[in-house]
Amino acid sequence: MVTIDLERDGDAPAIEGILDEGFGPERHRKTAQRLRKGQTPVLALVARDAGRLIGTLRFWSVRIGKCHRALLLGPVAVAKDWRGRGVGGWLINTGLARVQAMGHRAVILVGDAPYYGRFGFSTALTEGMTLPGPVDRARFLGLELEDGALAGVVGRVAANPEVKSSPRQQRRMTKRVRAA
């Protein structure tokens, strides 16, 4: 049975293996990685099947311009033998519900528009934003968790490392989402 839970300290090797398998070594050179480097994720989830880690998803704090805050979603990856079975979508839906329950208002990402569009992500919400490196504009997407959260937001996206979430806070939000 597949379960989704918070990432644990010993999960790093399995997560790195899934990320390498899905994105290869070039993933460390991507623009979105520049925003994650040196940060602690605000929320880090994993999917497991009978104890085996089969999927990963993380959210990172970013600032857009001088004062707008959002989360950066990614990377999302699923073990090769589990792709196409809904695990990625389940991770995304669970993650979005949890960060919304934590009070976050908006999420941005760099990813496949047809895939992420089904969760409500759109290029229209990132038109006034830039990233700290090259990006295909058709893959730079945003989602409002609260209506109007990205309305009129312009500026360069930068890491926002002062915003952190402890594992205790993440567990508390997990209990609230499960109870809802």
Which range of residues forms the domain containing residue 8? Answer: 2-160
Does residue 91 sit within a domain? Answer: yes
Does residue 175 sit within a domain? Answer: no
Q: Which pLDDT band holds residue 29 (cuts at 50, 70, 90)?
A: low
Query: What is the pLDDT, as a whole number, of residue 176?
Result: 43
Does residue 8 sit within a domain? Answer: yes
Does residue 168 sit within a domain? Answer: no
Query: What is the pLDDT, as a whole number, of residue 21?
Result: 79
What is the distance between the alpha carbons of residues 112 and 121, in angstroms, rounded to a whole number?
A: 10
Q: How many other C-beta atoms are found inside a 10 Å radius of the C-beta of residue 171? A: 12
Q: What percentage of the chain carries pLDDT values higher than 90?
A: 71
- The model's pLDDT over 33-67, given as tens digits with 9 standing for 90+, comes to 888 888 899 999 999 999 999 999 999 999 999 88
CB 104 within 8 A of CB 145: yes
* Buried b or exposed e, range 45-82, using 16+ CB within 10 angstroms: bbbbbeeebbbbbbbbbbbbeeebebbbbbbbbbbeeb
Does residue 167 sit within a domain? Answer: no
What is the distance between the alpha carbons of residues 57 and 117, in angstroms, rounded to a whole number?
A: 17
**CATH code for the domain of 113:** 3.40.630.30
CB 67 within 8 A of CB 103: no
Does residue 45 sit within a domain? Answer: yes
pLDDT exceeds cutoff 50 at 177: no
Q: Please report the DSSP string for 102-159 in residue order.
A: TT--EEEEES-HHHHHTTT-BGGGGTTEE-SS---GGGEEEEESSTTTTTT--EEEEE
Q: Measure CA 21 to chain center.
A: 18
Q: Which pLDDT band holds residue 28 (cuts at 50, 70, 90)?
A: low
Domain tally, the chain: 1
3-state secondary structure of 17: helix
Does residue 172 sit within a domain? Answer: no
Does residue 147 sit within a domain? Answer: yes
CB 98 within 8 A of CB 73: no
